[in-house]
Amino acid sequence: MLRDADGTPLPQRFGPYVLFDLIGRGGMAEIFLGRTFTRLGAPRLVAVKRMLARLSADEQFGKMLIAEAKLCAPLRHANIVQVHDLGRIDGRLHIDMEYVEGLDLHRLLRLCTRRQLPFPPEYAFFILEEACRGLAHAHRAAADDGRPLHIVHRDLSPTNVLVSFEGEVKLCDFGIARAAAETLAPDEAAAETETLRGKFAYMSPEQARGDAVDQRADIFGFGILVWELLAGRRLYKGGNDIETLRLAREAAVPPLPRRGRPWEDAAQDLLDRALARHPADRFPDADALHDAIRDIILGFDIRCSQLGFAEFLRQHFAEQIVPLRRDRERALDLIAPPRHAAGQGGDGPPHGVERRSPRPNSTML
């Protein structure tokens, strides 16, 4: 039986949501697959990111998370996971996000390694181009009055790159890394909550030193993704978190491994600039980085399409994920059928097609 971090079994009701599957669990939050309803009464699957109780009780963290989430929620782009809502239910901070049926890049690469399945470089370039397009959109975002928002992701690690079985590529968790970085001491985050475990390896040197960062830190973080996808291994191989953090501060980046691929020189030129130690020496913005990736794809006739990538994912991984999730959704229908009329005992809105109002202990922010 699936249970949350507090030991409560799934499915469980959480405000207007019924949570019925656990997508992931980290040092800051758990991500659930849940069902809620649109204003017209139609069922809608959502990913609900619920912060752990200790972080939800941290007032400073809560204020920072809400401010950052509100800043990033208006982002609308095919390569960015949409944020639908944020709030606090039963004292727990949560973010209601678009559900992407697929897996994150970290899990995808681990499965490829486990199955000894080479990851085709054409799909690596496809992921990089699509993800960089989303990053460029976020970096260009402006307020209604035209003022630049200066959004910085700060955590472009593989777990924050999602790929769907339709071949979509989406970035997620804009703003959450800043909330953690500015409210939790690094030793507390790493040692107690594991918030930063695995994240040091994707930091720019200035971020690893604790200096102020701007969008050029994201250029460096994205450059690490480029290096690792094309090399097929981790960039920094520290034996522990302290060693990895030291490597990130030094930014001693080895050359891309050579395997006789025709685009390697062009890729190395891109990496030399994206992974420059000094921010001023990097690409000036994510649009320029995207153009460099696109130039390699076009210049070396690298054939990569969303349809081809989707077929690769479905052929090798869908059967491991989708049937189990469908079974749990069908089981939810038996336990809490989505009936829409009042008094029928389902999880639908209690007054016809009107969406259920938040309960007294639910505060939408």
Positions annotated as catalytic residues are 155
List residues bridging with 364 in a β-sheet.
87
> CB under 8 Å, gap of 24 or more: what pairs does 226-232 form?
226/128, 226/267, 226/270, 226/271, 226/274, 226/293, 227/253, 227/256, 227/271, 227/275, 228/158, 229/119, 229/124, 229/127, 229/128, 230/121, 230/124, 230/256, 230/267, 231/256, 231/257, 232/119, 232/257
How many angstroms separate the most distant Cα atoms in the chain? 67
Please, how many CA atoms are within 13 Å of residue 141, restricted to the half-sphere of its CB? Answer: 21
Measured distance CA(209)–CA(46) in Å, rounded: 37
Are the CB atoms for 55 and 195 separated by under 8 Å?
no
